[in-house]
């Protein structure tokens, strides 16, 4: 199937390369303490890294759909990693970035239109839905490698930036895997539900994410959710201290945090 996609439709977008360059340069500035404002460098590193992860998330959906049988994916530009090609740029890029800035939580995006009727087999449909959040899981593991490998010599502020960016990946993965209509978790189980159940649930899909965030406003639920996030982060070798200071540096507009 992949051979049906032209080279032009698979060429990595300059927009994505620019985002990756910003992530690399700002990460270098944090590592070397080159920036006059460490907080601003952390902000650029986290935001660009977060958008890069969103692009990879959607690319994983698209690439899996291509191999599953939807050869229309290439013509839509989804394989170029260009976030401007997504069906809903505001929902997939702008809104998640705003949520990161406001609350430090990884909001699931959702924006590649897959022609599901071209795909045969329930397992393929489930895998297409799971591919996105699994990419967030993989990205979190890569970001936390210095922690669980016990790598020495990583600058303190850079560790905090990695910890905060990794936490965003974990929150995005957990939220995305919830079996709620409109989220990837529901997409994983949907092919295995009866036609009658799917038809009954379908009208509620646009409101699934809103419902999830409404429920998260309940203090008891919020506590359980973030306790789960903290438990995963600790399993990856990251302490609450490191994610806390990562977020403090990220919010550079509140002034540079004083560690000591």
Q: What does the alpha-carbon distance between residue 253 and residue 82 come to, in Å, rounded to a whole number?
A: 29
Alpha-carbon span 224 to 211, nearest angstrom: 17
CA-based nearest residue to 109, from 100, 121, 119: 100
> Are the C-beta atoms of 165 and 100 separated by less than 8 Å?
no
Question: Could you give the residue numbers annotated as active site?
Answer: 58
Enter the pTM of the model.
0.91
Asked whether the beta carbons of 69 and 119 are under 8 A apart, the reply is yes
Residue 182 CA: distances (Å) to CA of 13, 99, 142, 205, 230: 28, 18, 28, 4, 25
Contact in structure between 114 and 72 (CB atoms under 8 Å): no
CB 53 within 8 A of CB 136: yes
pLDDT tens digit at each of 260 positions of the chain: 444 566 777 789 999 999 999 999 999 999 998 887 899 999 999 999 999 998 999 999 999 999 999 988 988 889 999 988 876 666 667 777 787 877 677 776 667 888 988 999 999 999 999 999 999 999 999 999 999 998 889 999 999 999 999 999 999 999 999 999 989 999 999 999 999 999 999 998 888 888 888 898 899 998 999 999 999 999 999 999 999 999 999 999 888 887 76
């Amino acid at each position: 199937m992949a051979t049906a996609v032209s080279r032009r439709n698979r060429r990595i977008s300059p927009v994505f390369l620019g985002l990756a360059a910003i992530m690399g340069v700002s990460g270098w500035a944090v590592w070397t303490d080159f920036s006059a404002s460490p907080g601003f460098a952390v902000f650029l590193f986290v935001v660009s890294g977060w958008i890069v992860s969103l692009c990879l998330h959607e690319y994983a959906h698209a690439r899996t759909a291509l191999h599953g049988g939807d050869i229309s994916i290439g013509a839509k530009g989804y394989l170029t990693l260009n976030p401007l090609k997504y069906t809903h740029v505001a929902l997939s890029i702008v809104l998640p970035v705003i949520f990161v800035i406001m609350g430090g939580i990884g909001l699931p995006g959702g924006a590649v239109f897959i022609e599901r009727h071209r795909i045969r087999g329930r397992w393929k449909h489930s895998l297409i839905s799971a591919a996105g959040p699994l990419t967030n899981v993989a990205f979190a593991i890569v970001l936390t490698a210095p922690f669980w490998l016990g790598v020495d010599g990583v600058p303190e502020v850079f560790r905090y930036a990695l910890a905060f960016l990794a936490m965003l990946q974990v929150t995005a993965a957990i939220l995305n895997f919830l079996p709620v209509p409109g989220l990837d978790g529901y997409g994983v189980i949907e092919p295995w539900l009866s036609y009658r159940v799917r038809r009954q649930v379908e009208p509620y899909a646009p409101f699934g994410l809103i419902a999830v965030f409404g429920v998260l406003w309940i203090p008891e639920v919020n506590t359980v959710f973030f306790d789960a996030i903290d438990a995963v982060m600790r399993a990856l070798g990251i302490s609450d201290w490191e994610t806390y200071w990562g977020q403090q540096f990220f919010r550079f507009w509140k002034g540079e945090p004083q560690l000591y």
